[in-house]
Amino acid sequence: MLNEATQNDAVQSDATPTEVVSDCGCESARAKLYEWLRGELCSEESAPIREHLSNCANCQGEKSVCESLTEVVKRVCEDERADCAPADLRDAILRGLQG
């Protein structure tokens, strides 16, 4: 009985994964979050970030915010490059100035 108790103690003190999240802390994960989302990190660099995110709910929330921001920025840039509304508007203004 004594043996069982000590074994249980050992298991309990060892198994506290919620306390020890990861070597990569929130700060370093977030510092590289934007770079990672823009695809500027190689898989070696992004691995610890991905690992940290899978353990850290806070950074997961931060990541989805960054993700939607990155998406919006990307879409705006693509729209401008696609020569749609902004170019038409510019032409109209230029014509108005000349005419």
Enumerate binding residues for Zn ion (CB under 5 A): 26, 56, 58-59
CA–CA gap between residue 85 and residue 91 (Å, rounded) = 10
Q: Which of 66, 71, 69, 78 is nearest to 32 (CA)?
A: 66
Quick one: 26 or 66, whose CB is closer to Zn ion? Answer: 26
Identify which of residues 54 and 68 has a Cβ nearer to Zn ion in the complex.
54
Least distance to Zn ion, CB of residue 56, Å: 3
Separation CA 6–CA 33 (nearest Å): 43
Unique residue bearing structure tokens 């074994």: 7
Least CB distance to Zn ion at residue 27 (A): 8
The least distance separating Zn ion from the CB of residue 61, rounded to whole angstroms, comes to: 9
